[in-house]
Amino acid sequence: MHRKLGTLIALLSLSQLPAVCQTDVSTIRGSVRDSSGSSIPEARVVIAEQLTNVSRELNTDGNGEYEIASLRRGIYRVTVSKGGFKTFVASNVILESRQIRRIDATLELGEVATEIQVSANASVIETEGAKIQRGFTNVRYDNFPLVSNLFDPNTMLATLPLVQSPMGGYGVRFAGQQPSQIQEGMDGVTNDGIVNQINNLEDAAELQAVMVNSPAEYSRVGNFNMTTKSGTNQFHGRAYYFQENSALNARDFFEDQKTKTLIHTFGGQIGGPIVRDKTFFFGSWNAVRWPSKSFFLRSVPTERFRSGDFGQLPAGRLIRDPLNDAPFPNNTIPAARFSPVTVKTQDAFFPKPNTGGPNQLNNNFFFRFIYPQDLYRAEYITGRVDHNFSSSHSLSGRYATNWFFYVLPGSYPGLEWTRLRYNHHIAVTDTYVFSPRLVNTFKFGLYNEKFNDGETVDGFTPRKGDDVVKLIGLQGVNPRGLSAQGFPRMNVTGYSGLFVRPGGPGLNEKTWNFADNLTWNIGRHVVKLGGELRTFSNFNGAIPEGTYGVFGFDGSVTGHAYGDFLLGIPRTSVRLDPLVNRTLQAYEFGLFVQDTFKVNNRLSLDYGLRWDYFGAPTYEDGLMFNWVRKTAT
């Protein structure tokens, strides 16, 4: 076990860090004054979401200040009223996720029934936080000239300031921080790293990223959050279709004809009210189809090599007999010396040349695979419901799932393999307003990512390693008779390895997330405290490589790797009797408290403390995870 004490985050700024309840909610604050600049206490402030009419209200304090936290992203209307003054109305207040928006009001003398209308729109400059945060909405995503990697947020993340992409979209860094120090959130439910198989920008209303200066409520240096679209009082829907094809692409240099590439991306969304002003829904289905083929150019042993005749080698290149270190006569290995295992392997899995002349030793075999080199089909489904029990209590729930289907090529025909990958994500948020100055938010989340290699996909069933072992007559491997997709891997230098990825349920990872945060506005202080518990489990039932054997032929025995292969004498070999069907478990627990002291409307002090405890990972079966030399345990 080890502990991490996330020490004091003491930030002093001309504005303040967010007083939000979790990673995806926001705050509107401001001050109310008369035309002379004097504060107006006990003014009534009503903040209403314009598209749903859901509202919250409170009175300004003795200094004429107000603050309403735990607001969802949206477009708001701020109404300020006080007897003897005209009513102030700021409409079209665009509130982004995890934003603190200041709306100050100046009241003029007059009748309350008389309104002063202003349009706030979007905030041009962020003045209410020391954090460095940037993001984009679905509008920018729709207008972005993407030609591939649709739905994936990492491509667009790399366009934000302080985000680097040294390894491509899946290796983005925030302000130089490693991906391991970045958390991704979906509707406020977090997971480590920047790759989340469930994320889908098509269903996101907004993405906001904090590169540095994260407050104490966050357990990592950098983070970003995607907020799912939600329903409003108006029905809205969309349908789309996007195609990418190879019609104008050039033919590969080695191809006799161009291999087709075609991608269909399509889907639809709909959202609206279930009960107006109270309950709303959003649903979507997005899909991708890749009816494409793949072209491969490989090297295979020539007909003469297959018979043991290595006379095609350059002059002076001799094939030696390992029994006496003398050259084989005519540089030919007698067929009687061939290993029966490798003869069966050669006949069943090493294809014969089909291009070039009989003396072409390299790039002499090509084939077309009827699927792309990645998944050929993807399905994304999302559903969300938002319900307001009252102006003080709201509940949101969102479920998302996706399914990926793979039939993937091997090094040669007959060595194909399959994968079925599916993911589920649940996010539930319960917000309760005890009073205008005391708000609690509870979040629950489950992220389940899993894949299974070797299932029948699109009618194709891959080879099983135990069947191949029996077919070629290999001895001394797989002592427990484990049966799964696989192959006794044979690496012959100069040729692509004979290999089928080991199969089984290689991943079934569940991350449970429980978080509760309380925001308390006490005079000039905004105190925020809370905790988070994350538990992890990962079941792995895959058959690891080596169960059916791994054999390396490099030419160290005869002088040519394929000569070693024909004799059946590898330079290296691996045979495993593995532990399978194991579950790894771990957990993480964190507590934090932070305070914002508003000295005045231009200066505030922010300080906080966070403590995190990371439990050491253990296996459910209780077997040793690692060895500590000092304690011998």
| pLDDT for 359 beyond 80 | yes
Residue 553 lies in a domain: no
Q: For position 526, what pLDDT does the model report?
A: 86
Q: What is the pLDDT of residues 278-301, one digit of tens each?
A: 999 999 999 999 999 999 999 999
Q: Are residues 110 and 160 in the same domain?
A: no
Q: Are residues 102 and 23 in the same domain?
A: yes
Q: For position 3, what pLDDT does the model report?
A: 35
Q: For position 131, what pLDDT does the model report?
A: 59
H or E stretch covering 342: helix 340-349
Which of 55-64, 168-177, 443-452, 582-591 has the least mean pLDDT?
168-177
Q: For position 8, what pLDDT does the model report?
A: 31
Q: Are residues 91 and 50 in the same domain?
A: yes
Q: Is the dihedral of CA 459, 465, 466, 468 positive or negative?
A: positive
User: Do residues 288 and 244 lie in contact, with contact meaning Cβ atoms separated by under 8 Å?
Assistant: no
Q: In angstroms, rounded to a whole number, what is the distance separating the alpha carbons of residues 193 and 616?
A: 19
Place of tokens 């075609």: 262
Single out the residue in 155, 180, 212 at which a domain terminates: 212
Which residues touch 494 (CB under 8 Å, ≥6 apart)? 299, 561, 562
Q: Are residues 117 and 136 in the same domain?
A: no
| pLDDT for 429 beyond 80 | yes
Q: For position 5, what pLDDT does the model report?
A: 32
Q: What is the pLDDT of residues 397-408, one digit of tens each?
A: 999 999 999 999
Q: For position 120, what pLDDT does the model report?
A: 65
Residue 502 lies in a domain: no
- Cα-based distances in Å from 257 to 215, 304, 412, 426, 589: 58, 29, 20, 47, 58
Q: Are residues 40 and 111 in the same domain?
A: yes
Q: For position 586, what pLDDT does the model report?
A: 94
Q: For position 360, what pLDDT does the model report?
A: 95
Q: For position 267, what pLDDT does the model report?
A: 94
Q: For position 7, what pLDDT does the model report?
A: 31
| pLDDT for 18 beyond 60 | no
Q: Please give the structure tokens belonging to residue 334.
A: 């007698």
Q: Is the dihedral of CA 326, 327, 330, 334 positive or negative?
A: positive
- Whole-prediction pTM value? 0.82
Q: For position 194, what pLDDT does the model report?
A: 58
- Kindly report the number of other CB atoms within 10 A of residue 621's CB atom: 9
Residue 46 lies in a domain: yes
| pLDDT for 127 beyond 70 | no
Residue 171 lies in a domain: yes
Q: Above pLDDT 70, what percent of the chain?
A: 90
- Average pLDDT of the residues of the chain: 86
Identify which of 103-117, 195-209, 426-440, 465-479 has the greatest average pLDDT.
465-479
Q: Are residues 170 and 102 in the same domain?
A: no
CA atoms within 13 A on the CB side of 622: 0
| pLDDT for 629 beyond 80 | no
Which residues touch 364 (CB under 8 Å, ≥6 apart)? 299, 300, 302, 353, 354, 355, 356
Binned at pLDDT 50, 70 and 90, residue 109 comes out as confident
Q: Name which of 358, 362, 366 is nearest 304 in CA terms.
A: 358
Q: Are residues 110 and 148 in the same domain?
A: no
Which of 126-130, 374-378, 456-460, 554-558 has the least mean pLDDT?
126-130
Q: For position 97, what pLDDT does the model report?
A: 79
Q: Please give the structure tokens belonging to residue 8.
A: 């004091």
Q: For position 546, what pLDDT does the model report?
A: 94
With 0-12 / 13-18 / 19 or more C-beta atoms within 10 angstroms meaning exposed / middle / buried, residue 448 is middle
Residue 271 lies in a domain: no
Q: Are residues 108 and 184 in the same domain?
A: no
**Once rounded to an integer, what is the mean pLDDT over residues 74-91?**
89
Residue 192 lies in a domain: yes
| pLDDT for 147 beyond 80 | no
Place of tokens 């394929």: 562
Residue 28 lies in a domain: yes
Binned at pLDDT 50, 70 and 90, residue 148 comes out as low
Single out the residue in 157, 190, 212 at which a domain terminates: 212
Q: Are residues 100 and 154 in the same domain?
A: no
Q: For position 170, what pLDDT does the model report?
A: 63
Which residues touch 610 (CB under 8 Å, ≥6 apart)? 6, 9, 216, 217, 219, 590, 591, 592
Q: For position 573, what pLDDT does the model report?
A: 95
Identify which of 4-8, 15-19, 48-52, 536-540 has the greatest average pLDDT.
536-540
Single out the residue in 195, 212, 229 at which a domain terminates: 212
Q: For position 253, what pLDDT does the model report?
A: 75
Which of 124-138, 229-243, 550-564, 581-595 has the least mean pLDDT?
124-138
Q: What is the pLDDT of residues 170-203, one digit of tens each?
A: 667 888 777 777 888 888 888 776 566 777 888 9
Question: Residue 308 has what DSSP assignment?
Answer: T
Q: For position 19, what pLDDT does the model report?
A: 34
Q: Are residues 137 and 199 in the same domain?
A: yes
Residue 546 lies in a domain: no
Q: What is the DSSP string of 51-69?
A: TT--EEEEE--TTSEEEEE
Q: Are residues 169 and 103 in the same domain?
A: no
Question: Residue 252 has what DSSP assignment?
Answer: P
Binned at pLDDT 50, 70 and 90, residue 446 comes out as very high
* CATH code assigned at 107: 2.60.40.1120
Q: How many domains are there within the chain? A: 2
Strand partners, 320: 327
Q: What is the pLDDT of residues 312-341, one digit of tens each?
A: 999 889 999 999 999 999 999 999 999 999
Q: Are residues 197 and 139 in the same domain?
A: yes
Range of the domain at 84: 19-121
Please give the backbone phi and psi of residue 608, each rounded to the nearest 5 degrees, phi first: -165, 170
Q: For position 158, what pLDDT does the model report?
A: 79
Q: Above pLDDT 90, what percent of the chain?
A: 53
Q: For position 121, what pLDDT does the model report?
A: 61
Q: What is the pLDDT of residues 485-534, one digit of tens each?
A: 999 999 999 999 999 999 999 889 999 999 999 988 888 888 989 999 99
